[in-house]
Structure 1
Amino acid sequence: MTKTRIAIASALAAALVLPVAAQAQGNTEKCYGISKAGKNDCQTATSSCAGTSKKDAQGDAWLSVPKGACEKIVGGKLTAAKG
């Protein structure tokens, strides 16, 4: 591998591990209305599985983000949108 590929692989590994570590410590919150279609973390009002949201920024679909980050994201809400 080249040095660039190793650096990219290391960065990706760190990016994948950090959210898990933060979630394990309870330092995360549900942020509604920010996920892309099919990229939500868990169930919505109309589906029971992660990755099943039907549209971008679906109001009842959420992503787990570090505490305090949701309110800084455009469109992010701490509660699900109704209907």
Structure 2
Amino acid sequence: MKKTNIAVATAFTGLLALGGTALTTTTAVAAEEKEKCYGVVKAGKNDCATKTGSCAGTAKSDAQKDAFLMVPKGLCDRLAGGSTESK
């Protein structure tokens, strides 16, 4: 393999590694900036289990008090009926 091909392959591999690191860091930060928001879901659109259902998508009614959505931190308090605590 020519020296120029090796240099190009090395540079490309480095860029891929750097891009993967940036993507992982962005995902971790985004996950930390979310919170559970109870009481604002539409029927069947909740993100996780409730007291009455064992998995996502099992909310039986709109605005079910024990069903939540993950929303950006601080948004829940501004939504009508939204609460960061299950009721």
Report the secondary structure of 1:44's partner residue. Answer: coil
Give the aligned residue type for 1:74: A
How many residues are paired up?
61
Report which of the two has the higher share of helix.
2
Normalised to the residue count of structure 2, the TM-score between the two structures is: 0.65
The answer for the alignment partner of 2:49 in structure 1 is 43
TM-aligned CA distance change 1:50 to 1:71, over 3 Å: same
Normalised to the residue count of structure 1, the TM-score between the two structures is: 0.68
Gaps of 5+ in 2: 1-26
RMSD of Structure 2 on Structure 1 (CA) = 1.6
Q: Indicate whether 1:30 and 2:61 are aligned.
A: no
Report the secondary structure of 1:25's partner residue. Answer: helix
The answer for the alignment partner of 1:5 in structure 2 is none
User: Which 4+ residue blocks in structure 1 deviate beyond 2 angstroms?
Assistant: 21-25
Please say which structure displays the higher CA radius of gyration. Answer: 2
Q: Indicate whether 1:61 and 2:67 are aligned.
A: yes
Gaps of 5+ in 1: 1-20
